[in-house]
Every structure is written in C-alpha cells, then in structure tokens.
Amino acid sequence: MASSGFYLEAPQRLRAFVRARESSLILIAVVIGAMSGLFVAAMSASVELLHVWFFDIGLGQRLSAQDRIDPVRAILVPTLGGLALGFAFLLLARWRPGREVDPIEANALHGGNMSFRGSVIVALQTIWSSGVGGSVGLEAGYTQLASGVASSLGRAFHLRRADRRVMVGCGAAAAIAGAFSAPLAGAFYAFELVLGGYTPASLAPIGVAAVTGYAVTHAFSPLSLGVLVRPVGIVTGQDLAIAAALGLAAALAGIAIMRGVALFDATLAKLRVWPPLRPALGGLGVGLAALVTPQVLASGHGALQLNSVEMLPLGAMAMVFLLKSLASIVSLGSGFRGGLFFASLLLGSLGGHLFATGLSTIHPLLGLDPAVYAVIGMSALSASIIGAPLTMSFLALEATGNLWLTTAVLIAVIVSIQVTRELFGYSFATWRFHLRGETIRSAADVGWIRDLTVGRMMRADVATVEEAMPIAAFRERFPLGSKTQVIAVDGDRRYAGVVFVAEAHGLTDIDAKSLHDILHCREVTLLPQMDVQQAMAVFDSAEAESLAVVRSADDGTVIGLLTEAHALRRYAEESERRRRDMLGTG
C-alpha cells in the first residue's frame, strides 16, 4: 500500500510557489525534520512508559540495562504481548489487506509514495513490539512514521517524483539523526539506503532535515538516545590491519543473523503455526533468554550504553552475544515489528570486544584495546546487516570524535560490506524484499521502469491475417514496401506467428504454400504488463526486431505490436528524464 489513506492538499498558489523554487524544499525539510524529531522523542517515551508499566522498572531506566527482571514478568510480558500482536495482525489483515511499504521500497518502486495511515500503524506496532520486550529496534518505526509524513507532505504540494523521493529521505535522515545523536550518520543513511545515492540537489534538504531532527529530538527527549562510547586508546598501524580481519568476521556474523531470521520464519511456516501464535512463540523465546540476561530485551540500547557490559567475564559476554543474536532472530522471524540497527550495534560492540580480548589472549604482545575494537565491531556488523558503510563510519566519528579510529572503522566496514555482497548479496532490508519475490537491491528509483510497460509502449493498430492465407493472396494484399511484417492468427483469432513481407515476396514456388509455412516467432510474444527491461530480454532471446503483444499467457488474442527500436528509444528518453530530475537540472 503505497499511497492510500490520509491525504491533504495545499492551496494551488502555494503549490506553484513551492514547485518553482528549490529553496522551498529546504523549508519543507525543516518542517519534516522538526516533526521527525518529535516523533522520535514521543515514540521513545512511549516505549519507556510501557517498560515501566510492564516490567516494573524505574522511570528513566533502560530495560536492557537492568541487572535482573522479575522472572514471571520476563516470561509473561513478551509472550502475551506477542499474542496480542498476532491477533492485531489478524484483525488488521481483514481491514487493510496487503502490506505497507517502507521508505526504501517506496523510493525504489513507488516514486516516494507511502501511506500515512499505514505508517502510523507500523509505528504503533513497533512501539508495542519493543514495549513488551521484543528484541527489535525502534529505528524501523522512527523512519517509517517520519518518512510517511514526509511523503504525505510531498503529495500535498504535488511535488515531482524526484522531489517526493527526497522528502522521504528527509524524514529518514531526521529520524536516524535524532535517534543516534548523529546528524552526519542520519544524512548518509538517507543517501545510502533511502535515496540510493547522493546528488547535489538532495544535499541541502537532507542535511537541513538531519540537523533539525537531531536538535528537536534532544530538546524534547527524556533520555539520551545517542551511542555512548567510553574513551578509547591510541589507534596504531597494526589496528588498521587487524580491523580488516574483524570486518571479515563481522560480515560472516551478519550473514548468519540475516539468514537466521529467514530460516526461523520459514520453519514456523513449514510447521503451519497459526499466525497469531507466531509472535507469542517468539516472545516466549525472548522471555526465556531474558531469564539468563535482561540485555536481550527490547532494542538493547540500554545495554549498549552500559559500561558494565564490557566488564563482564569473557564467557558471560559471549553468552550475551549469543542470546541477543537468538532473541533478535526469533523476534523478527516470528513477526515482531522493528529493525536490526540497534541490535547490530550492541552485537557488534560485544563481538569486537570478544575479538580483541580473544586475540590478546593468544598474542599478549599485541596489546589491543577492547574499547577500540568494540567501536570497530559495532560499525562493521551494522554495515553488514544494514548495508550502509558510510553511515556507520560517520556514526563512529560522531560517537568518538577520533579520526584515526574512524579510519580503522572505514577499513572494517569496507571489508564487511564487500564480503557480504560477495557471499550474500543483500542487506537485511533488501533480503526481505528478495524473500517476497522482489528483485530490488537498493532504493535507486526503478519504479519508473516498471511503470514503462509494454501496454504503454505498444501500437494497438496492428494488421493481422489468417495463417491459412495463400502466399499469392498475401502478396496482393501487402505489396513490397507497404509493411515490414504482419501478424498471423489462427482460426480462433489467437496469435500464430509473424510473417515478413519481403520473405513472402521472395519465394519462387508459392502455389502450394500458405503463410503457415513461413511463420516466425511462433511461441514468442510479449504481455502488456511486462516492463521495458523484461521486454528487451525477450527481444534479445528471440533475436527479433518486433513482437506481437497478446492479452495474456492463456489468451493469445493479439492486442498490439512493439518494436525493439521504439522500446529502446522510450527507455533512453525516460532514463535521461530521471537523470535530469535527480541532478536538479530538469
């Protein structure tokens, strides 16, 4: 559901004013940034209140930072909360069939159009999922709601497709900037994940929205949302080399976690577990893990900020890493709403600490600082899962202010993202698209390609003849130069093949021949719903310059004709138009 639901429209004069000036987009970006900051603060406060009520912790405390949770609450709250979420999904499916699109999918396929009502629903589901202890991050809800509102503003002002996509990016940038106290990371999150690239035209709106979102969030938020890192030691040349090895390990861990989510989901489906019971089972798994360590509950933000986690014995830290990984897998795989951003930061921090401590145990002379590798591991694992290497590099820079450490982080994330691409090929977001049958790999705008269909490009005034027509009669009806090819149909008016006029006139023995004997492309046709890329693939495989378009695969009725030259020309025209829009020169 890309654009259904709540919709406003600005007055015509105001719309014309906004569309005529690029600076107007910056003003809208300020509004989006301010609203996004308020959403982040409000959602965080809502989750905190749910934790206070359900888990009986003090106001202002983080759930995952607790030393101990009441065992009864640890089991019942996630389980019953998951059951309630499952029934809510069941009722919602009857009211709003289909699914909501996230900012990445909206920008890739729908020209930046998102449903406002759907975005609110996803945000509420994310609040509840984290509020009852599900091991999911709030960042998915933050960006969904902020980008959904931004998309609604874009539609209200009738913005161009490229500008609507930038507004969606503004919402995501502001939300991430506020959530992580990192305006640079927020901006590059939008560039890498939501827009699919950087353009000069998008720099000012995205940057302004990120800074505004950061400022507003921290003016209203009752808690510190940023990533807190204790002081780190000096980064040396050997750390740069070892960071590459940690990047490799982080990539393998990230791939395992992403595959684990899909495997758990597939297992529940194979077992035919009743859908409302799936989140309940996931909640039960999280609750059992919370009996061992409360750090598995919710996003793990509190645990990430808790220095005492780094002071745990090596075995205890490894146990937290394993249980948090499993809790995140069963939470997302069973249907809890949320993301892996926060969880990947905690897991990467623990993994980096374990990596440095273990390596120092084997080679004590290395003298590795676990705090340095906690930051490197945090960034490398998140880059593998989220798919945003520059975002994680800037997050590390903003959290530590250490340029040399950021250099080591950059090396690790480059290795991590490259290994993930080579061995897996997806980030967590694009992996979920793949499981649904989508082929998109990023937020780069490919929706216009899907809109450029065979049905829109074909000629409907196509000449047809009976395949049983004698060639002599065909020559009389279609003399040389009248047409290049003609579509032949059978007695039921279904497609039979293509007749080349020049070939028919070049035959010497024609008395015993009908068109049926000289038909080409007998089994090759185009369908009206095919996009231009699919059509070009058919042209290439058939080695044909023109093909008939039939109503459907089962109904062979000819409805049009498309030439390869026309399809290529339309593709080139649309590509150039999108390029101009993206660069702001159209």
Classify domain 237-273+292-435 at the CATH topology level: Clc chloride channel (1.10.3080)
Tell me the pLDDT tens digit for each residue of 54-81. 999 988 788 877 888 999 999 999 999 9
DSSP string, 176-202: HHHHHT-HHHHHHHIIIIISSS--HHH
Residue 310's pLDDT is 64
Residue 88's pLDDT is 94
Residue 459 pairs in a beta bridge with 561
Q: In whole angstroms, what is the distance from residue 82 CA to residue 282 CA?
A: 7
Locate the domains of the chain by residue range.
Answer: 12-226, 237-273+292-435, 450-577
> Which helix (DSSP H) or strand (DSSP E) does residue 502 occupy?
helix 501-506
| Torsion angle in degrees (nearest 10) through CA of 380, 386, 392, 395 | -130
| Phi-psi label, residue 7: left if phi above 0, alpha if psi -120 to 50, beta otherwise | beta
| Nearest residue to 499 via CA among 513, 517, 481, 482 | 517
| Nearest residue to 39 via CA among 183, 213, 215, 227 | 213
Residue 460's pLDDT is 87
DSSP state of 276: T
Q: Find the radius of gyration of the CA atoms of the chain.
A: 29
Identity of the amino acid at 361: T
Contacts of 176 (CB under 8 A, 6+ apart): 139, 142, 143, 182, 185, 186, 189, 190, 210, 391
Contacts of 304 (CB under 8 A, 6+ apart): 227, 228, 342, 345, 346, 349
Helix (H, G, I), strand (E, B) or coil at 159: coil
Residue 441's pLDDT is 65
Q: How many Cα neighbours within 13 Å face the side chain of 178?
A: 37
Tell me the pLDDT tens digit for each residue of 15-57. 777 877 878 899 999 999 999 999 999 999 999 999 999 999 9
Distances from the Cα of 210 to the Cαs of 139, 191, 228, 500, in angstroms?
14, 12, 19, 60
Distances from the Cα of 15 to the Cαs of 9, 20, 34, 162, 580, in angstroms?
9, 9, 21, 16, 21
Residue 2's pLDDT is 57
| Nearest residue to 300 via CA among 324, 274, 331, 272 | 324
Low-confidence ranges of the chain (pLDDT < 50): 306, 512
Identical fold, 12-226 and 237-273+292-435: yes
Tell me the three-class secondary structure of 64-131, residue by residue.
HHCCCCCHHHHHHHHHHHHHHHHHHHHHHHHHCCCCCCCHHHHHHHCCCCCCHHHHHHHHHHHHHHHH
Helix (H, G, I), strand (E, B) or coil at 466: strand
- Please provide the CATH number assigned to the domain covering 12-226: 1.10.3080.10
User: Is the Cβ–Cβ distance between 413 and 427 less than 8 Å?
Assistant: no
Helix (H, G, I), strand (E, B) or coil at 557: strand
* Architecture label for domain 450-577: Roll (3.10)
Contacts of 10 (CB under 8 A, 6+ apart): 18, 156, 157, 158
